[in-house]
Amino acid sequence: MDPRASARSLCAYIDASPSPFHAVENGARRLAAAGWTEVQEAASFPRGVERGFVRRAGSLLAWSRDGAPAVERGFRVLGAHTDSPNLRIKARPNTGAAGFRQLGVEVYGGVLLNSWLDRELGLSGRVMVRTPSGPAARLVLCNRPLARVPQLAIHLDREVNSRGLVLDPQLHLSPVWGLGRPDEKGLQRFLAQELGCGADDILSWDLMLHDVAPGSFLGAAQEMICSPRLDNLCSSWCALEALVAHTPSKAPIAIACLFDHEEVGSTSRSGAQGPLLVDVVERLVLSDGGTRDDVHRAIARSFCASIDMAHATHPNYREKHEPEHWIALNAGPVIKINTNTRYATDSEGEAEFQLACERAGVPVQKYFHRSNLACGTTIGPLASARLGMRTVDVGTAQLSMHSIRELCGAEDPALMVRALAAFLAG
Of 228, 226, 266, 231, the closest CA to residue 396 belongs to 231
Looking at the predicted structure, is the pLDDT value of residue 300 above 70?
yes
Whether 223 is covered by a domain: the verdict is no
| Residue 250 placed within a domain | yes
User: Exposure of 142 by Cβ count < 10 A (0-12 exposed, 13-18 middle, 19+ buried)?
Assistant: buried
Domain range for 419 is: 3-84+228-425
Strand, helix or coil for residue 123: strand
Separation of alpha carbons 123 and 105, rounded Å: 12
- Residues 6+ away with beta carbon under 8 Å from 357: 332, 333, 363, 364, 419, 422
Collect contacts of 143-147 with beta carbons under 8 A, ≥24 apart. 143/18, 143/212, 144/212, 145/120, 145/121, 145/212, 146/120, 146/121, 146/122, 146/177, 147/103, 147/121, 147/122, 147/123, 147/175, 147/176, 147/177, 147/209
Rounded to an integer, what distance in angstroms lies between the CA atom of residue 5 and that of residue 17?
18
Residue 191 has pLDDT above 70, yes or no: yes
- The answer to whether residue 1 scores a pLDDT higher than 70 is no
* Residues 339-396: tens digit of each pLDDT: 999 999 999 999 999 999 999 999 999 999 999 999 999 999 998 898 899 999 999 9
pLDDT per residue as tens digits for the range 206-243:
999 999 999 999 999 999 999 999 999 999 999 999 99
- One domain, residues 35 and 184: no
Q: Are residues 381 and 250 part of one domain? A: yes
Helix (H, G, I), strand (E, B) or coil at 82: coil
Residues 305 and 397 occupy one common structural domain: yes
103 & 129 share domain = yes
Domain identity same for 138 and 287 = no
Residue 38 sits in the same domain as residue 112 = no
Residue 265 dihedral angles phi and psi, to the nearest 5°: 110, -10
User: Residues 169, 97: one domain?
Assistant: yes
**Per-residue pLDDT tens over the stretch 322-341:** 999 999 999 999 999 999 99
Give me the amino acid identity at 15.
D
Domain boundary among 209, 238, 254: 209
Asked whether residue 237 falls in the same domain as residue 380, the answer is yes
The DSSP line for 336-366 is: EE-TTSSS---HHHHHHHHHHHHHHT---EE
Residues 144 and 113 in one domain: yes
Is residue 416 over pLDDT 90? Answer: yes
Q: Both 71 and 197 in a single domain? A: no
pLDDT above 90: residue 158: yes
How many helices and strands in the chain, by DSSP H and E?
11, 20
Domain count of the chain? 2
User: Could you give the CA distance from residue 209 to residue 142 in angstroms, rounded to a whole number?
Assistant: 9
Q: How far apart are CA 327 and CA 322, in angstroms?
A: 9
Q: Are 162 and 268 contained in the same domain?
A: no
